[in-house]
Amino acid sequence: MKLIFATHNPNKVIELNKQLPSSIALSDLLELGFNEEIPETENTLEGNAILKATYIYDKTGNDVFADDTGLEIEALNGEPGVFSARYAGNNKNATENIKKVLKNMEGVTNRKAQFRTVFALIIAGKLQLLEGVIKGSILKQPQGDNGFGYDPIFCPNGYTQSFAEISLDEKSKISHRGIATQKLVAFLKNRT
């Protein structure tokens, strides 16, 4: 089946393709020549994922899904959450975002955090939401060079390394997006 992933982020497509069966042909927005950014104007992950999926479905009529992810830090009342990408400003700079988190977490002993991904899936015009969560903690300083975004400061529970220090294969198995993807695969299999 042909499925559009409403994203411009090649890292996410690489991660996802590792988990999807070959029967699912994934295309992203760059491949479709759709270069404009879809504004994320909602104030929840669910709202933004639905907005992006609906936008592309209305334009193409194709089966589509969109994601939105947030890093939710307990001691910061769930921040940066839905504002994760632009936490330190509109240029979406990962290094600046990390700096801001570490500054806000100075002297804070409760380091609990989670990544949460929401997938909004529109198949044959029907909307379905799927969620993936990974719990962990915020490190005191960045560690590792793999991955992207907040990976260098997030240590998943049960690990001593950050997401930026483990392999992409391992991250995909346990991550928020990995879990949401497993649910996506199960959902699509149940339909056939």
Any idea which residues carry the catalytic annotation?
68
C-beta separation of 92 from 85 below 8 A: yes
Region 158-177 residues binding ligand IMP, contact defined as CB under 6 A: 163, 175, 177
Q: What are the helix and strand counts (H, E) for the chain?
A: 5, 6
Quick one: which of 149, 165, 179, 183 contacts ligand IMP (CB under 6 A)? 149
DSSP string, 85-147: TTTT-TT--HHHHHHHHHHHTTT----EEEEEEEEEEEETTEEEEEEEEEEEEE-SS---SSS
Smallest distance, Å, CB 24 to ligand IMP? 20
Q: Which is nearer to ligand IMP, 22 or 152 (CB)?
A: 152
Q: Sketch the per residue contact string, 56 through 85, with ligand IMP: x for CB under 6 A, - otherwise.
A: -----------xxx-x------------xx
Site string for ligand IMP, 11-50 (x = CB under 6 A): ----------------------------------------
Task: Give the up-direction half-sphere exposure of residue 185: CA atoms within 13 A in the CB hemisphere.
Answer: 15
Ramachandran region of residue 78, left (φ > 0), alpha (ψ -120 to 50) or beta?
left
Which amino acid, residue 25? A
Stretch that binds ligand IMP, among 29-37, 55-63, 104-112, 144-152 (CB under 6 A): 144-152
The only residue of 5, 34, 65, 150 in contact with ligand IMP, by rule CB under 6 A: 150
Distance between CA 98 and CA 92 in Å, rounded? 11
Nearer to ligand IMP, 40 or 63 (CB): 40
Which one of the spans 58-66, 135-143, 147-155, 182-190 is the region binding ligand IMP (CB under 6 A)? 147-155
Is 156 among the residues that bind ligand IMP (CB under 6 A)?
Answer: no
Using CB under 6 A as the binding rule, whether residue 151 contacts ligand IMP is answered as: yes
Contacts of 146-149 with CB under 8 Å at 24 or more apart are 146/171, 147/11, 147/171, 148/11, 148/94, 149/71, 149/84, 149/94, 149/97
Binding site for ligand IMP (CB under 6 A): 9, 67-69, 71, 84-85, 94, 97, 147-151, 163, 175, 177
